[in-house]
Structure 1
Amino acid sequence: MTTTNTLPHATLLESLKVFAQVLGPTWAKGVIIRRPAMVGIAESLGLDKHAVRYMQKLRDKYGNDPLLLRLPKSINYALVFMPEHVHRVLQETHQPFATDSREKHAALAHFQPHGVLISQDPERSKRRHFNEAVLDTALPVHRLADHFMGVIHEEASQLLNSLGYKQQLDWERFAISWFRIVRRVVFGNAARDDEQLTQLVNKLRGHANWAFMHPKNDKLQQQLHSRINHYIQLAAQSGSAPEPSLAALIASTPQDADTAPADQVAHWLFAFDPAGMTVFRALALLASHPQQAAQAQTELKANTGSSRQYLPYLRACILEALRLWPTTPVILRQSKTATQWDSGMMPTNTGLIIYTPLLHRDDENLSYANTFAPEVWLDQQHTTTAQQWPLLPFSDGPAVCPARNLVLLLTSNMLAQLLESGALELRSSRLSPKLPLPGTLSPYRLRFKVKG
C-alpha cells in the first residue's frame, strides 16, 4: 500500500457537474419525502440515467479510489465507486465511518432528533438494540406475521372491491390503503383512520427535505411525538392480551430514558412510505413482464395461509424493484478519523457519498443492469455475484435496515393480494421486457385499469 498526501481530486468543473447532474436531481426529487412533480420531470428527462453515465465517466477517468470533490477548503466530500470500497465503508460503520453525517442529521432532526441513524454511542447502541428487538431483525419472518397478513388481506380486499369496472387504481387510492396498513401494523386498529398522524409525519418530512435551510418546527414535532406516545400508551394499557402491533411490543420491550421510542417510531412511519412506492413499482413490473408474472402466480397457487409468510419469488420482485429504483439513492457516511486508501489519505470529517444507482444500474459491469431480473436474488450463482457486487436495497453492514425482513413481509404480501385479483392491467407506462427499463419510474404516474 502506497502512502501519498491525499486521494485524487476532481476538477472544479467536474465537482460542479456532480452537484448539478447527480446530487442536484436527487435533492430536487426529495430525499426525505418525494416531490411528485420533480420525480415526474426526472422520469421524462432521464436524469437518473444521465447521472449514472457521469459517475461511470468519473470512475473510468480516476480509477478505483474514492474521489475527493474540489470544494472550499473546510468542506470535504468523496465519491465512493468501487465494490470493495463500498463494502469497506458499510462494514466499518460506525467506526470510523459514522451514519450521523452533517446532512443526515440536519434533515432527520426535523422529526426524529433522537433517531438511531443520527445518534452516537452509547445512546446509538441502545436505540439500535431497541429497534432490532421490536422489529425482529434477526428473524426471516416477524413473530406477528399472521396478524399482519390478515391486516393486509382486509385492506387490500377493501381497496380492490372499491374499484368498479374500468376504474383505475392510481397512487392516491393505493396510498390510502397502504398507510391504513402501516398505521394498523405499527399501532393497531385504533390508528387505522388517523390520517392526521400521517399528514403530520409528511409535513415534517417536507421540512426535512430542506435540511439546514428550513427552521425546525418544535411545536409540530411535539404534536407528532405526543400522538405517537398516545398510541404506545394505549397499547401498554390494553391488558394481558393486547391487540398485536409493534406498539404492543414496544410496551413489553426493555427501554430507558435514552431509548426515545417516539423518535424510532417516527422513522418507521417515514420508511414505510418508500416501501409502498416499491410495491406499486413491482406491480407495474409484473404487469408488463408476462414470464415473471406467470412465475409469481405459480408461487401464489402453491402457497396458502401461513406459508405465505415467506414468498421467495415475490420478495425477489420487491428487491428487484428496489435495485432498479432505489428508495435510498444516496448512502452517506462521515469519517471520524483520517483513513488510509491505496493512493492516499482521506481527511477527517469527509462526507462519503455512495450513489446507489451507479452500483445497481452499472451496465459496464452488470449484464442485467437495465432489465427486470428477480433471479438475481434467488439463483445461487447470481446471489454470489450480488454479494460481491454491492446491491444495497436496505444498505448493509452494522447499519443495515433493522426492518428489512418486516418490510419484505408486508410488501410481498400486499403485492400478492393485488396480483391474486388478476384484474389489474398497466395502462400508463411503456415498461416492456423488450426495452431497457427507465432510470426513473414515478409511482405517482402509474395507472392500473380494472379488466372486465
Structure 2
Amino acid sequence: MTSTQGKLTRPATASVADTLRVALEVALPTLAVGVIKRRPRVLAVAGKLHVDRAGVKLLTRLREKHDGHPLKLRVPGRSVGLALASEDVGTVLAGAPTPFSPSTVEKRAALGHFQPHGVLISDAHDRRPRRRFNETVLEPGRPLHELATPFARAIADEAAVLLSEVTHDGELSWAAFDVAWWRLVRTVVLGPGARDDDTLLGLLERLRLDANWAYLHPRREKLRERFRARLTEHLGRAEAGSLAAVIAEAGDDGTAADQVAHWLFAFDAAGMATFRTLALLATHPAALERVRAGLDGFDPAEPDQLGYLRACVLESVRLWPTTPMLLRETTEETSWGPAGTTVLIFTPFFHRDAALPYADRFDPDIWLDGRAAANPALVPFSAGPAVCPGRDLVQFCASTMLANLLRQHGFEQATGPVPAPERPLPAGLDNFHLRFRLLPD
C-alpha cells in the first residue's frame, strides 16, 4: 500500500485532459531529450524552453488538485500510476525488487539493446547474484574504493593532460572535457590498455542511440556482439589497478560484460554532472572559496574523500537530474493497481519542489546537514535496495576530477545561461554547449 501524509490511500484517477498534459509536458520532453543517450540539439532547445519547469508546474497543480494522492493515468491497455508525494517515492523505492521491480517493460526494451542481462532489468531470481556481483566490485557504502589510490593517480594524469590543452587554447569546452573523461573512465574500469579505445565507446554510443527508441527500433545483434567481444577482450586482461582486475577476482558468471556496459552508460551521466558542477562553482564564489579551502594540502596522487565537493556534485544532480524519470513495475497487486502497473517518478518535480526553500538555488550543505537525507524524494542516485551500486565510485571520480581542475586554476563560464546565486537557477543546463575561460590563479 502507498502512503500520503501517513495514511493508506488509493490513487486518484486523472482526467483524459490531465493524462494528455502529463504525456505532452512530462513524458514526451523526457523521451525527446534522450533517456539512454542524450540528444544535444534537443537538450539545447529543451533548456531554452524550460520544459522541465513546465512539467514541475503541472505536477504541482495536480498534487494540489488531488491532495497529493498518487494519480492513475488513463493510458489505453496499461495501468500507469504517477507519484505526487515524497512519502510515496520513499515507499516505492524501498519496495524493490518486490513488489516494485526496477525491471520494467520500458527498461527491458531500451537497455536490452546493449545489456540484456544487466542487473537493472533482471527478474528477482537473477537479480540477486548480479546485484551481489555489482556490489562486490563497486563497493557501495565505501567512500574510498579499495583501488582509490590508482584511480586517483589516473584522474590526476588525465586532468593534467586536459589542463595543458586548456592552457594552450584558453578555453575548456565540453568536447575537450568529454574526451578526457572517457579516457579516465576506460582506464578506471578496464585498465590503461583501454584508455584510447574510442571504437569501444563508438559502438556503445550507436547501441545507446538505438536504445532511445526502446521497442520501436530493432535490435542490432551483430553490432552488440562486436561491442561485447571488444569489451570482453579488455576485461580479459584484468589489468592491475582497474575494476577489471576486481572482476577477475570476483568471478564472472557470463554476464559481467553486461554489468560493465551499464557502468559505462552510467559514467556518461557522471561526466555531465561533473561539468555542470564546474559551472555552478565557477558562478558561486562563496562555494568555490570553500572548495579551495578544503583543497589546502590536497595531494593529487593520493585519494581524498572531499566531502564538500561530493556534496556539490550531489547538488548538481539534484538541480539537473541525469535520470529524470524513475520507473518501477509492480510484481503483484498493490494499492497502485494490478500486477504489471508502471509507477512513474518524475525526479525534477521532487528535486525542484517549490515547497523546498532551496528548490532553485545551489545549496550543497543540504547533503551534509541532514536535510536531504530527511526527504525521501531527493534521489540523485535512486534509493532503496535498487540504489545505484556505483554511487560512491562516481562521486569519488567526479569530485577528484574537479579537485584537480580547481586546486590551481580558476574558470569563468563563457557561454550559456549563467547559474548565478542571486537568481533562481535555470530548470535545465545544457552541458554540451558550455565553455569556460581559464583564469589566471
TM-score (norm 1): 0.93
Query: What residue identity is the alignment partner of 2:353?
Result: D
CA contact (8 A) 2:409 2:438 kept: no
Partner residue, 1:313? 308
Partner residue, 2:399? 412
Partner residue, 2:145? 142
Q: Please state how far the C-alpha of 1:234 moved relative to its aligned partner.
A: 1.5
Match 1:288 to one of 283, 289, 311: 283
DSSP 3-state at the match of 1:428: coil
Separation in 2, partners of 1:298, 1:232: 39
Which residues of 2 match residues 252-331 of structure 1 at below 5 A? 252-257=249-254, 260-304=255-299, 308-331=303-326
CA contact (8 A) 1:21 1:47 kept: yes
**2:339 matched to 1:348?**
yes
CA contact (8 A) 1:132 1:138 kept: no
Q: Please state how far the C-alpha of 1:305 moved relative to its aligned partner.
A: 5.5
Partner residue, 2:380? 393
Separation in 2, partners of 1:173, 1:128: 34
Q: Please state how far the C-alpha of 1:424 moved relative to its aligned partner.
A: 2.2
Which residues of 2 match residues 117-196 of structure 1 at below 5 A? 117-164=120-167, 167-196=170-199
Match 2:352 to one of 356, 361, 372: 361
Q: How many matched pairs?
A: 434
**2:68 matched to 1:53?**
no
Partner residue, 1:34? 38
Partner residue, 1:239? none
Query: What residue identity is the alignment partner of 2:383?
Result: D
% identical aligned pairs: 44
Separation in 1, partners of 2:88, 2:438: 47
DSSP 3-state at the match of 2:186: helix
Separation in 1, partners of 2:39, 2:338: 34
Q: Please state how far the C-alpha of 1:349 moved relative to its aligned partner.
A: 1.1
Separation in 1, partners of 2:423, 2:141: 38
Separation in 1, partners of 2:233, 2:154: 21
Separation in 2, partners of 1:78, 1:44: 29
**2:441 matched to 1:441?**
no
Query: What residue identity is the alignment partner of 2:186?
Result: R
Q: Please state how far the C-alpha of 1:378 moved relative to its aligned partner.
A: 1.0
Partner residue, 2:4? none
**2:226 matched to 1:231?**
no
CA contact (8 A) 2:89 2:376 kept: no
Per-residue CA deviations over 1:340-396 (Å, capped at 9, x if unaligned) read: 3xxxx5222110000000110001x200000000010112xxx14532342101000
**2:398 matched to 1:431?**
no
Can you give the 5+ residue segments of structure 1 that lack an aligned partner in the other structure? 236-241
Query: What residue identity is the alignment partner of 2:266?
Result: A
Partner residue, 1:238? none
Which residues of 2 match residues 208-227 of structure 1 at below 5 A? 208-227=211-230
Separation in 1, partners of 2:149, 2:87: 39
DSSP 3-state at the match of 1:169: strand
Q: Please state how far the C-alpha of 1:8 moved relative to its aligned partner.
A: 1.5
Cα gap change, 1:3 to 1:418, in 2 (>3 Å): closer
DSSP 3-state at the match of 1:111: coil
Separation in 2, partners of 1:314, 1:164: 23
Can you give the 5+ residue segments of structure 2 that lack an aligned partner in the other structure? 2-6
Partner residue, 2:362? 372
Q: Mean alpha-carbon deviation: is it higher for 328-337 or for 305-314? A: 305-314
Partner residue, 2:246? 249
Query: What residue identity is the alignment partner of 2:431?
Result: P
Separation in 1, partners of 2:49, 2:426: 10
Cα gap change, 1:131 to 1:3, in 2 (>3 Å): closer
Per-residue CA deviations over 1:12-36 (Å, capped at 9, x if unaligned) read: 1110110100111011000001000
**2:17 matched to 1:13?**
yes
Separation in 2, partners of 1:139, 1:164: 35
Separation in 2, partners of 1:162, 1:446: 17
Cα gap change, 1:385 to 1:424, in 2 (>3 Å): closer
Q: Please state how far the C-alpha of 1:317 moved relative to its aligned partner.
A: 0.3
DSSP 3-state at the match of 2:374: helix
Separation in 1, partners of 2:225, 2:302: 41
Q: Please state how far the C-alpha of 1:303 moved relative to its aligned partner.
A: 3.6
**2:74 matched to 1:70?**
yes
DSSP 3-state at the match of 1:270: helix
Query: What residue identity is the alignment partner of 2:220?
Result: N
Per-residue CA deviations over 1:156-204 (Å, capped at 9, x if unaligned) read: 1001101245622111010000000000001111001000101111110
Q: Please state how far the C-alpha of 1:256 moved relative to its aligned partner.
A: 2.8
Separation in 1, partners of 2:400, 2:367: 17
Separation in 1, partners of 2:88, 2:415: 39
Query: What residue identity is the alignment partner of 1:352?
Result: V
DSSP 3-state at the match of 1:412: helix
DSSP 3-state at the match of 1:186: helix
CA contact (8 A) 2:72 2:82 kept: yes
CA contact (8 A) 1:43 1:442 kept: yes
Partner residue, 1:199? 202
CA contact (8 A) 2:152 2:302 kept: no
Separation in 1, partners of 2:218, 2:78: 22
In angstroms, what is the RMSD of aligned CA positions? 1.6
